[in-house]
Amino acid sequence: MAPDNPQEKTGKPLVYSLYRQGSSRRIVFIIFLIVLLITAAIMSAGIGTVAISPWNTVLAICHSFATQVNNLLGNYIPGIVDWYNSIPYPTNPQAELIVTGFRLPRILLAILTGMSLAMAGAVMQGLLRNPLVSPFTLGLSSAAAFGAAFAIVIGPSIFAAFFQVSDDVFIIVMAFVFGWLCMLLVYGISRSRGTNQATLILAGVVIGYIFTAGVSALSYVTTNENLRNLTVWLMGGMWGASWTSVLILLPITLICLILLMRMSWDLNALASGDDVAKNLGINVNKLRLRGLMIATFAASCCLAFTGIIGFIGLMSPHICRMLIGNDHRYLIPCSALMGASILLISDTAARTVMSPVEIPVGIIMYVIGGLFFLFLIIRSRGRGLY
Amino acid sequence: MELVIEGLVKDFDSVRVLEDISFSITNGEILAVVGPNGSGKSTLIKGITLIHEPSAGSITLDGTEVRKLDPIDLATKIGYVPQNFSYTLYSTVFETVLLGRRRYIKWSVSDEELSRVQQSLDALEMGDMAGKYMDQLSGGERQKVFIARALAQNPALYLFDEPTSALDIRYQIEVMETMRRITWQQDSAMIIAVHDLNLAYRYADSVLVLSHGRMFGYGKPEDVLTPECISNVYGVDSFVVKNEFGKFIMPFRVKNSDVKG
């Protein structure tokens, strides 16, 4: 063995130090992303038609949270009232209403959507070993769009009345149902040919086209007013934000994140190919089906509230892979945080750049995310992507 | 460890790819599977790992039918290196080798697993490459990384599908020497699908010749790999050279062609 081998100096194997270094570097990166996200959220809550200082924003959030806790538990736990009274009011009297009533749900919706789409993208890319895969490219978004378009164009008159639900809920449910339907269809087709991953992607792309054709047909035949609603939905955005949507999506996103992260090692092994993964004791078909279903669930739940949001599910995993590598234990949470940050920052820009006029979030997101992505490709030691 | 295969059959959509394959292998042995392209070498190896489950016949490992084993147990007993391997650019050598320890890792990686990885890399003299990314390696080095991954799995039986196909002659000899050493040191057995008849001749304890999915010959290399056998299976004329280094097979022309030998 060469005398300058690190093993000789440290007494520990080289892989030992490599592994520790790699892990701590990735954990630092995750912490950085968390800090970035929280900072962005607080800043974002302060920016808008009424500007609120970051300190007031924090106070408003704390005070509002304390009020909720006090209302819930104040009668049962005596100490809570004192604690509640100890939290100062924000100096700006409107701050609490603006921050928690309007801006915070929207911020949280952006964070949850960004997380869901990005982690779904990361897992789908890992499961299918293909860099082009994302909720968008597997036809999921088009299918969800078709569901929503169907609901917007035909729904209010017949189905919504039949099911006794409001138009908005109906749109969401339809988007969600069609998202899943698409995934089942894609998986079913590929399965009948022996789950070849190229078949799966091709099936996704083709089904996406079919649903896009459906959306075009619907928008061609519909009335002017419906067409406007449809266009707004198709452009995607955080307009639909409310505490209800946040409370629905929060548990779904977190549970899916945990479930997907539990697959990390199997996803790592799958990078060596199906045969090797099978040899390592992994039930590849089951893993792929389960992973796709969970990722679809997370993504289509969010898409249902926000309309079509592309790009994040494709780009965030790539950005993170370039920065911290392919270990899914870190890649999945990193992608989620990266997706949340990009979507939140883009949405904040979208609603403030031309305030009070909002521009669609996609316009900002493609520019911010796209430039960042190109920057990474250029400085990536000329290695390209795949 | 003893692997016994009896009457193995594999059909793909009613096309019979393997028919009536029977052989056995025990600790310290290397079995070379040779045969022309498409003769069923890869299918046989994938059949034993249950990647392509056989249509009929039995595969018993130490008296237990492998199909009755938990896939997770099977993963600790059989290590497999495919002919075509995939990898991502963003994985390092040691991360790839670490996957061989998948069965022993729950979430975080213990020092013991890491030292196993180091041992496997050292066994192939790749210890100092641990931190390199997979795309920074040459084709041969990558192939060695995958062999190291199988070593890290520490199985009783290794299955290699053309492990030397991407290696230059020096690496080929190095890798085969390493494999010979491992079977003795770890008391394990190896089944290697290989195109190079001389590698089979030199390093294998027994040879299985496949032709159109059937066993054409099975036994000691010098008994099986004769010019008659090679002529029948490959349609190639050859002769055997003996000198102080051993016996060598020299294929030299397609049968019945008039090329001067």
Report the C-alpha gap between A126 and A328 in whole angstroms: 8
CB A135 within 8 Å of CB A121: yes
Evaluate if residue A8 carries a pLDDT over 50.
no
Name the phi and psi angles at B121, rounded to 5: -65, -40
The domains located in chain B, with CATH, are 2-225 (3.40.50.300), 226-261 (no CATH)
**Cβ distance of B114 and A265 shorter than 8 Å:** no
As a whole number, the mean pLDDT across chain B is: 85
DSSP code per residue over A271-289: TT-HHHHHHTT--HHHHHH
Contacts 24+ apart (CB under 8 A), A352-356: A352/A47, A352/A48, A355/A48, A355/A49, A356/A49
What confidence score (pLDDT) does residue A19 get?
85
DSSP code per residue over A15-47: HHHHHHHHHHHHHHHHHHHHHHHHHHHHHHHH-
Which residues of chain B neighbour A286 with C-beta distances below 8 Å?
A: none
What confidence score (pLDDT) does residue A167 get?
62
Residue B122: band (very low, low, confident or very high) from pLDDT cuts 50, 70, 90: confident
Section B249-259 average pLDDT: 79
Name the residue with higher pLDDT: B207 or A11. B207
The percentage of residues in chain A with a pLDDT greater than 90, rounded to a whole number, is: 18
Pairing of strands B189-193, B157-161: parallel
What confidence score (pLDDT) does residue A2 get?
41
The percentage of residues in chain B with a pLDDT greater than 70, rounded to a whole number, is: 98
Report the C-alpha gap between A228 and A218 in whole angstroms: 12
Residue A162: band (very low, low, confident or very high) from pLDDT cuts 50, 70, 90: low
DSSP code per residue over A154-194: TGGGTHHHHHT--HHHHHHHHHHHHHHHHHHHHHHHHHHTT
Residue A10: band (very low, low, confident or very high) from pLDDT cuts 50, 70, 90: very low
Q: Closest Cα of chain A to B32: distance in Å?
A: 20
Which residues of chain A neighbour B103 with C-beta distances below 8 Å?
A: 280-281
Name the residue type at position A217: A
Single out the residue of A386, A381, A358, A116 nearest to residue A235, CA to CA: A358
Name the phi and psi angles at B51, rounded to 5: -65, -45
What confidence score (pLDDT) does residue A156 get?
59
Name the residue with higher pLDDT: A190 or A227. A227
**Cβ distance of B130 and A271 shorter than 8 Å:** no
Structure token digits, residue B128: 């100092």
Query: How many helices and strands, by DSSP H and E, does chain B display?
Result: 9, 12
CB A176 within 8 Å of CB A135: no
**Cβ distance of B115 and A16 shorter than 8 Å:** yes
Tell me which H or E stretch contains A232.
helix A224-235
Section B228-238 average pLDDT: 87
Report the C-alpha gap between A196 and A202 in whole angstroms: 10
Name the residue with higher pLDDT: A245 or A262. A262
Section A86-111 average pLDDT: 81
Evaluate if residue A33 carries a pLDDT over 90.
yes
Report the C-alpha gap between A26 and A16 in whole angstroms: 16
Evaluate if residue B130 carries a pLDDT over 90.
no
Report the C-alpha gap between A267 and A128 in whole angstroms: 10
The percentage of residues in chain B with a pLDDT greater than 90, rounded to a whole number, is: 6
Name the residue type at position A148: A
Residue A1: band (very low, low, confident or very high) from pLDDT cuts 50, 70, 90: very low
Evaluate if residue A165 carries a pLDDT over 70.
no
Of A14, A327, A386, Cβ closest to residue B127: A14
Choose the mutation target among B12, B81, B90 for the interface with A, i.e. most A CBs under 10 Å: B90
Please give the residue of chain B at the shortest CA–CA distance from A269.
B99
CA distances from B45 to B40, B161, B179, B200 (A): 9, 7, 17, 16
Q: What is the dihedral of CA A94, A99, A105, A110, to 10 degrees?
A: 140
Report the C-alpha gap between A111 and A336 in whole angstroms: 9
Evaluate if residue A193 carries a pLDDT over 70.
no
What confidence score (pLDDT) does residue A38 get?
93
Query: Which superfamily does A6-52+92-378 belong to?
Result: ABC transporter involved in vitamin B12 uptake, BtuC (1.10.3470.10)
Which residues of chain B neighbour A383 with C-beta distances below 8 Å?
A: 89, 133, 135
Evaluate if residue B45 carries a pLDDT over 70.
yes
Evaluate if residue B48 carries a pLDDT over 80.
yes
What confidence score (pLDDT) does residue A27 get?
93
* Least reliable range by pLDDT among A141-155, A190-204, A210-224, B168-182: A190-204
What confidence score (pLDDT) does residue A155 get?
63
What confidence score (pLDDT) does residue A7 get?
44
Which residues of chain A neighbour B127 with C-beta distances below 8 Å?
A: 1, 5, 7, 13-14
CA distances from A97 to A100, A347, B81, B146 (A): 6, 20, 62, 60
Structure token digits, residue B78: 């059989």
What confidence score (pLDDT) does residue A196 get?
64
Name the residue type at position A383: R
Evaluate if residue A70 carries a pLDDT over 70.
yes
- A383's torsion region: left (phi>0), alpha (psi -120 to 50) or beta? alpha
Report the C-alpha gap between A121 and A331 in whole angstroms: 11
Name the residue with higher pLDDT: B260 or A306. A306
Choose the mutation target among A7, A8, A9, A15 for the interface with B, i.e. most B CBs under 10 Å: A15
Domain boundaries, chain A: 6-52+92-378, 53-88
CB A190 within 8 Å of CB A200: yes
Structure token digits, residue A19: 């592994």
Please give the residue of chain A at the shortest CA–CA distance from B71.
A281
CB B77 within 8 Å of CB B50: no
Evaluate if residue A119 carries a pLDDT over 50.
yes
Task: Report the SS3 class of residue A254.
Answer: helix
- A46-77 as b/e, with b when 16 or more CB fall inside 10 Å? bbbeeebeeebbebbbebbebeeebeeebeee
Section B93-100 average pLDDT: 87
Of A16, A282, A321, Cβ closest to residue B111: A16
As a whole number, the mean pLDDT across chain A is: 81
Of A2, A18, A275, Cβ closest to residue B46: A275
Section B184-191 average pLDDT: 87
